[in-house]
Chains A and B, each alone.
Chain A
Amino acid sequence: MLPLEGITVLEFAQFMAGPSAGLKMADLGARVIKIERPGSGEAGRKIALKNIYIDESSMVFHTANRNKQSYAADLKDPNDLEKVKKLIAKADVMTHNFRPGVMEKIGLDYEDVKKINPRIIYGVVSGYSAVGPWATKPGQDLLIQSLSGFVNLTGNESDGPTASGLATSDIFTGVHLVQGILASLIKRSKTGVGSKIEVSLLESTLDIQFEVLTTYLNDGNKLPQRAKKGSAHAYLDAPYGIYKTKDSHIAIALTPLNELAKAIGLNLPDEYKNKDTWFGKRNEIMQLISPVLEKETTAHWLGIFEPLDFRCSDVFTYEQLFKTEGFKAIDMMQEVETTDGITMKTTRCPIRIDGKKIFNRKSAPKAGENNALIEKEFNL
């Protein structure tokens, strides 16, 4: 039995943050019903990577919305709204990411919904929280990475601000939403009463910087300084970084510099023998190591470093990774299928429960695909 079996989630949320939360709850056993506008469905159906579509919806949509059902309803139509309210009365959780004011107008803000179903957990995703001068600004992943300081941590010193090339803010916000919702479900089992959970892209993106922010807040507000070359972390000592080798690259994490120097046959100058210099002089030190590592292949160095238990590894592309035995062993991929029989390969849930991996073949629904079923089941 999956842990969330029996839980029904109504997902009014669109795009990535909210739907990624719904996906995780679905994988953990909940039944997730997307509430979508009739016809076009949620706006995320039209957000595509490389313009790739699976059916009338993009591949990205199918990635974030597999294993869900869809109920189409026009929330501005009183008849549809009545039906949705009946659904809400039976649900455990609902989520949305409308801008402040929208749900109030429809009559589905937390105060309204609580009257229909006092046990519900009501989850809201916003860009910058519901208050303050930015409350109605559009909250989008790259924009939040850019204004939260996150882009100043990645890349080398002379690079401009460098974003992470994936929806980091969305994904963490979705993860935090799930945490809040599940904690509230636990509380509800004792009190019988639901809760409102709010997360924002901005707060979540600041949260993932909690270690470096704590450092900044207590070191006299020194802004992050990236290394000149091979930078992998603005706050860590040499040799932490990625280095070129004769045929590829090698990643070296927390490894004592003196031991590394010995292993690569580098005569470490006296001035760098003291550990205290490994941060302040990291550019000079990395410049000393680089040419040595570049003389041999990655496999050569790993052959020396791994027996010494140095923290190091290959640097792979997807193509290289997917061919390795290490990747095959974790069985990370699954095939999903739409009701039209279109299949797609995607990742599975990363959490194993009771010793089992969680797979589910169901791809994303079409907008309104499950209306008849849901109307009958819930007597709408």
Chain B
Amino acid sequence: MENKPLEGILVIDFSQYLSAPSASLRLADLGARVIKIEKPQTGDNCRSLYFSNLVMNGESSMFHAINRNKQSYCADLKVEDDRKKVYKLIEKADVVMHNFRPGVVEKLGIDFDTVKSINPGIVYAELSGYGKEGVWKNKPGLDLLLQSISGLTQLNGNDGAGPVPIGLAVVDILSGAHLAQGILSCLYRKVTTGKGGRVEVSMLESALEYQFESVTCFHRDGGKPTVRPKSNSAHAYLGAPYGVYPTKNGHLALAMGSIPVLGDLLGCPALKNYETPQSWFDKRDEIKDILANHLQTKNTADWLAVLEPADFWCAEVMNWKTLFDKEAFKILNMIQEVSMSDGYKFKTTRCPIQVNSGWLTSEIGTPKLGEHTAVIQKEFSL
């Protein structure tokens, strides 16, 4: 297999939890060497943050998912000797990253100015909750809070359901992805010009850019409140049929399309009264009612058999079990097995990016806390 694109890049990662660590996971997937700097005894707090009480080899499933293919180096930055060693490591690094609350890196001696004085060509990346200025700068940056504060919870679910957050840490993951984009763009500049750079991302800014369509719409539309459809909602600003509908034996998703055409295909004459795209938006609640009643009369497969040949945008709603049984999923080899140094193996997803028709995979599992401290000290003569 050919070299991965970031081979030779060294990333020193002080971050914890999910946001920035998901960025360094991607850099690792793309071929960079990522060294987590963890505090002695506890390490990254995510190690003990459990999902449904699942413990995998002594640590949380979440930690394993985020930190495979990385190395762990233990250091207490409040101890002079430890700090000096970390500085020597920073001298050799291409990227330094962290997600501490404002003020912490200054105390730990790894703020931008200090790091830049050690390594002027460094790409220094930081991820915060709400930016470093303003009244919210010290608020805790947790995914659900950012979803709640940014208006995101008003976009999901039906009208009348109250705020509905997305059921995974989407803002953490997106802000991490933006951090990776910023790091990569500065690494490009570094390898072509020698100039280092500073990258800053906040979860709040990422959450708002994520909503760029609806935020722009809100302003353009004179500040009218966000109103979700009464039922079968999948988007507050789109007309019928856009939504998810129960069928006799499951659920069917319908994206954008002509309502009269849909009426013809489904044998539902009542839909033919809605002729204009304007009416598909203005009357979406009544159209969705008609559709919902009609779609319940047959199985999902029956509807797909009519809609798919007509190229109408539709899909069967699946769970992981049904999806994983499909040939189309199996052929993707989306699940990989990784092993830890003690032989513990677990399954996880692989990087979603394909390079030159090959998947970026790695068999390296999660590091134990401080697993690589001795090796790294020797290698870098710390």
Contact = CB atoms under 8 A, between A and B. Distances in A.
Interface of A: 1, 3-4, 24, 28-29, 47, 49-52, 54, 59-60, 62-64, 128-129, 131-134, 137-138, 140-149, 151-155, 159-168, 171-172, 175-180, 182-187, 189-190, 195-200, 202-204, 206-219, 221-224, 226, 231-237, 240, 242, 244, 249, 251-254, 276, 279-280, 309, 311-319, 321, 325-330, 332-333, 344-355
A237 B126 CA distance: 29
Contact of A213 (B192, B198, B220, B320): B320
B70 to A, nearest CB: 14
Contact of A279 (B52, B254, B323): B52
A63 B61 contact: no
26 contacts: A24-B181, A142-B254, A142-B255, A143-B255, A149-B318, A175-B178, A179-B30, A183-B5, A183-B353, A184-B355, A186-B184, A186-B188, A200-B352, A211-B51, A215-B51, A215-B61, A215-B62, A232-B147, A232-B165, A235-B52, A244-B162, A309-B140, A332-B209, A347-B215, A350-B201, A351-B201
Interface residues of B, number: 151
B277 A51 contact: yes
B235 A184 contact: no
A349 B212 CA distance: 10
Contacts of A137: 308
B187 interface: yes
A339 B379 CA distance: 57
A218 B349 CA distance: 12
A190 B191 contact: yes
B143 A4 contact: no
A326 B134 contact: yes
Interface in B163-191: 163-170, 173-175, 177-182, 184-189, 191
B361 to A, nearest CB: 13
A314 B350 CA distance: 36
B99 interface: no
Interface in B49-98: 49-54, 56, 61-62, 64-66
A166 B235 contact: yes
A350 B178 contact: yes
B268 interface: no
A275 B244 CA distance: 37
A105 B221 CA distance: 42
A358 B205 CA distance: 12
B150 to A, nearest CB: 7
B255 A330 contact: no
Interface in B218-263: 218-221, 223, 225-226, 228, 232-239, 242-244, 246, 251, 253-256
Contacts of B211: 166, 347
B155 interface: yes
A254 B62 CA distance: 14
A237 B154 CA distance: 23
B306 interface: no
The listed residue with most B CB atoms (<10 A of its CB), out of A54, A134, A231, A325, is A134
A311 B185 contact: no
The listed residue with most B CB atoms (<10 A of its CB), out of A137, A164, A224, is A164
A315 B191 CA distance: 43
Given A175-B178, A351-B185, 19 more contacts: A4-B185, A140-B256, A142-B313, A143-B313, A153-B167, A154-B164, A165-B233, A178-B184, A179-B26, A180-B353, A186-B9, A189-B188, A217-B347, A233-B169, A249-B162, A315-B149, A319-B225, A326-B135, A350-B206
A330 B204 contact: yes
A231 to B, nearest CB: 7
A303 to B, nearest CB: 14
Given A24-B181, A180-B355, A279-B52, A50 B198 contact: no
A115 to B, nearest CB: 16
Contacts of B323: 147-149
Contacts of B228: 165
Contacts of A223: 319-321
Given A155-B164, A249-B162, A321-B150, A355 B142 contact: no
B342 interface: no
Given A1-B189, A313-B145, A210 B235 contact: no
A23 B130 CA distance: 23
A212 B66 CA distance: 11
